[in-house]
Structure 1
Amino acid sequence: AVAASLVAIVATSSAVAAVNVERGLANIRLGITLEVTTALGSIAGALIASRVPGATVQLLFALMLFPVSVLMFLKGRGSLKKAAAQVLPAAKGASSFDSGFFDPALAAHTHYQVRNMAPASVVSFFAGSLSGLLGIGGGVVQVPVMNLLCGVPMKAAAATSNFIIGVSAAASAYVYFRKGLIPFELTAVIVVGVLLGSFLGIYALYKARSEKLQVLFSALTLLVAVKMLFKAL
Structure 2
Amino acid sequence: MTSLLIFGFSILAGIVGAMLGLGGGIILVPLLTLGFGVPMRTAVAASTVSIIATSTGAAISYLSERLSNVRVAMWLEMGTATGSLTGALVAAYLSPRLLSLLFGGLLAFSAVNMFRTRHHELPHGVKPDAISRRLRLGGVFEDRVAGVSVPYEVTNSLPGLGLMYISGAAAGLLGIGAGVFKVPAMDQVMKLPFKVSTATSNFMIGVTAASGAIVYFVRGDVDPALTAPVVLGVLLGALLGSRFLLRLKSSFVKKLFVPVVAYTAFIMIYKGLR
TM-score by length of structure 2 reads 0.73
Please, what is the CA RMSD of the aligned residues? 2.7
Task: Using the TM superposition, name which of 207-216 and 62-71 deviates more.
Answer: 207-216
Give the counterpart letter for 1:25 in structure 2: L
1:33 aligns with 2:101: no
Matching residue within 228, 235, 242 for 1:188: 228
Q: 1:149 to 1:32 in 2, by over 3 A?
A: same
206, 220, 223: which one aligns with 2:260: 220
Aligned with 2:58 (options 16, 24, 32): 16
* TM-score, normalising length: structure 1: 0.84
2:127 pairs with 1:115: no
Matches within 5 A, 1:200-211: 200-211=240-251
- Whole-angstrom distance in 2 between the partners of 1:165 and 1:173: 12
More helix by share: 2
Does the C-alpha gap of structure 1 residues 65 and 115 become closer, same or farther in structure 2, counting only changes over 3 Å? Answer: same
User: What's the CA shift for 1:195?
Assistant: 2.4
- Corresponding position: 1:72 with 2:72: no
* 8 Å contact from structure 2 (residues 61, 243) kept in 1: no
Q: Which runs of 5+ in 2 are unaligned?
A: 1-39
**2:142 is matched with which residue: 80, 93, 102?**
102
* Identical positions, percent: 36
In structure 2, distance between residues paired with 1:161 and 1:101: 15
User: 1:177/1:133 Cα in 2 relative to 1: closer, same or farther (>3 Å)?
Assistant: farther
Which among 185, 195, 199 is matched to residue 155 of structure 1? 195
Structure 1 residue 206, shift from structure 2 partner: 0.8
Aligned pair in 2 of structure 1 residues 23, 180: CA closer, same or farther (>3 Å)? same
In the aligned structure 2, how far is the partner of 1:148 from the partner of 1:17? Answer: 23
Could you tell me which residue of structure 1 aligns to residue 6 of structure 2?
A: none
- Deviation (angstroms), 1:24: 0.3
Is residue 157–residue 190 contact of structure 2 (8 Å, CA) maintained in 1?
A: yes
Q: Which amino acid aligns with 1:196?
A: L
Q: 2:100 aligns with which of 40, 45, 58?
A: 58
Task: Point out where structure 1 has 5 or more consecutive residues left out of the alignment.
Answer: none
1:164 aligns with 2:204: yes
Structure 1 outlier segments of 4+, above 4 Å: 46-56, 86-94
Structure 1 counterpart of 2:236, one-letter code: L
Report the CA distance between 1:47 and its aligned residue: 5.2
Report the count of equivalent residues: 228
Note the C-alpha offset of 1:217: 1.1
Once the two structures are TM-superposed, the CA of residue 62 in structure 1 deviates from its matched residue by: 1.7
* Cα contact 1:99–1:113 (8 A) shared by 2: yes
Query: How far off is 1:109 after superposition?
Result: 1.3
